[in-house]
Structure formats: C-alpha cells, structure tokens
Homo-oligomer: A and B are copies of this chain.
Amino acid sequence: MAGRMGGSTAPRLKDVAEAAGVSVKTVSNVVNGSVHVAEETRARVQQAIDSLGYHPNVMARRLRTGRSGVIALAFPELPSPYFAELAVEVIAAARRHGCTVLMDDTAGDPGAELRIASGLGDPMIDGVILSPLGLDQAELVSRERPIPLVLLGEADFGPVADRVHIDNVAAARAATQHLIDQGYRRIGAIGWQDPSPRATAQQRLLGYTQALEGAELPVEQALFPPVRSYFRPDGAAAMRRLLKLPDRPEAVFCFNDLMALGAMRAAHEAGLRVPEDIALVGFDDVEEAEYAIPSLTTIAPDKTKIAEAAVGALLDRIANGYTEPSRMITPGFRLVVRESSRRR
C-alpha cells in the first residue's frame, strides 16, 4: 500500500543517478536528449530509468529546460506497415533519449504536412520528423513556425532541413539485378506513377531501368503500368494488367512489399504459381513479407539506423540550433532473398 500512497514515493532524478552510479547531471543530460553522453553511459542510465519506472513530467521539464521532450512524427500513409515499423523504431530511439513521440497521419495532404512541419502550433512539440509526400519546397521554407525538422525519404527539398533516406536508385537496381542474376529476362515493374510520380516512383524506376540497360535488356513501357497509390489493391490491379499482356513478364519488381503482396494474390487468383510461373521482389522488408506464402524476396532498408539518425539529428538541432549546414544521412539497405524469386 505504502508505495501507492503519495507522489513523494515516485522515483526521482537522484534515485536514477544512484542506481546507475552516475551524477544527477548525467541523468539529466540523458533525459533531456543531449547527444553528448557516451552510448555505454546512456544505456546504463536507461536501464536504471526502466527498472525504477522513472518518468520525467513533460510540463515540469518544459518549465525547467524550455523543452518538453515531445517530438512529432508524421507520415503520409498510416495503413502502410513500413511506416508503422519505422515508427516503432523512431519511438524506441526517442525513448533512449528520454523523449515521447506523438504521431500524425497526413495522408500525403500538402496542407496537413505544412501544419505538422510547424508543430501544429503546439508549443509542447520540440521538433518534427516528417515523411513528406505532397509538400512543396516553397511552402516548407515559408512555414509559419520553423521549429526543428528532419525529413525522411526520397523527396528532395534542398538544404532547408536535415534529411535521412536510403539510396533508392541503388536499392532498386540491386532488386532488379537479383532477378537478372536468377536468369529472368522479361522483367516488369509495379509502382510507376503517371502523372505526378512521387520521388520514390522516379528513383525506383531509374534503378530498374539502369539494371535492365546494364544487362542489355529492353525497357518497355507496357512492363511498368502506372499505379494510383502504394497499397495491396494497386499491386493486384497492376499485376492483372501485366498478366493480360500478349508476352507477359517472367518476373516483377514491385516498389514496395504491399504492392508485391497484392500482386502475389492476383497471380494466385489467375492460377499462376510464384515463383515457378512468375517471380516477385518487393521493397521495405515488412514483417508480412517474411510470413507470406511464398515468403517475399525484398529490399530491407536499415530501419533502426534510419530512426536513430533521424532522432539524433533532430535532438541535435533542438539542442544546438541551425549553426551547422543541413545534413543528408544515408543509411544502408540489403537484399533479402526468399522463396518468391528463387529460379524455377
């Protein structure tokens, strides 16, 4: 009972310091997201925070430091498991720095993206990590309240904000090259958008065409039918179009896993086996890819590194402002070969 009886028994900064064997100042640095703490020390402090159940009060912290420790994370497509999995990594990275993450789904709407890039006008939001889809560079530069901002993904806004993204052209080239290496010659692509392709569509199509051209294979427009968005039904519809071609592809590179899983279902409904009749490669390495039947070969961006880089860059800007020029951080990726692309 006693433990529940009053606020005075809640663990405090000095209890955490004692348990971790560090100074109160060091705990405070960890909790306030300072980047100037050794990783080993941070881990020890986090462990003490976790085991004691210590939680900084955000309003009290804001009064003390001028910062709340709340950051916003906004993506364009909440139902996309890639964003959900990335969000889990961002939340974990933020938590290691004592920060809370609030998420916003912009649905790719330029107005919604602009509002969140201004922190919704909420003085509690210290900074924002945004994956933009419809936003325009001029709007971003002239936003109402230019709080610290880190952009995720392919869209290039020039040096107006730090940006974290993988090399999409190289990744798409690797995915397509894998199919070429497996002996496939007639290779389609699902994910092109026309009109107004998103940056993702442009860069992944470029990687696809580079790989085909490198292997002296023809690039045919009929082999990359346009899609409206990047969800399962889009992949299924595009696959149905490809299967209607007089000379259908033997393999298809899909610009994300969701479309690949939709395409897989469409192939199944057409009575085709994957990979025996048609091979598939996706992009994102969402958990669903590993559990699909057949399991899906895919490009795995390093989500942990992406999240760590985004949170690290944001907290650095929150703490130190914009004295340094904008940075571009490019975490790696790898090709994960599974059942869907094995040579018949």
Roughly how many angstroms separate A288 CA and B265 CA in the complex, as a whole number? 10
Smallest CB-CB separation from A87: which chain B residue?
Answer: B78
> How many monomers of this chain does the complex have?
2
Roughly how many angstroms separate A89 CA and B84 CA in the complex, as a whole number? 16
Smallest CB-CB separation from A114: which chain B residue?
Answer: B55
B70 near A120 (CB under 8 angstroms)? yes
B103 near A104 (CB under 8 angstroms)? yes
Closest chain B CB from A39 CB (angstroms): 22
B58 near A121 (CB under 8 angstroms)? yes
Roughly how many angstroms separate A100 CA and B58 CA in the complex, as a whole number? 21
Smallest CB-CB separation from A287: which chain B residue?
Answer: B232
Is A293's CB within 8 Å of the partner chain B?
Answer: yes
Is A111's CB within 8 Å of the partner chain B?
Answer: yes
Question: Which residues of A in the span 218-269 have a Cβ within 8 Å of any Cβ on B?
Answer: 231-232, 236, 261-262, 264-265, 268
Q: For the side of the interface on A, what is the size category?
A: 35 or more
B79 near A81 (CB under 8 angstroms)? yes
Q: Given A101-B104, A232-B291, A264-B293, is A121 in contact with B59 using a C-beta cutoff of 8 Å?
A: yes
15 more CB-based (< 8 A) A-B contacts, given A79-B88, A102-B120: A55-B111, A55-B115, A70-B120, A72-B102, A78-B87, A79-B85, A84-B84, A91-B105, A100-B104, A100-B115, A102-B103, A122-B122, A232-B291, A236-B291, A265-B291
- Residue pairs across A and B with Cβ atoms less than 8 A apart, 16 shown, are A58-B121, A58-B122, A78-B84, A79-B85, A81-B81, A91-B107, A100-B104, A100-B120, A101-B105, A120-B124, A122-B122, A123-B124, A124-B124, A232-B287, A265-B291, A293-B293
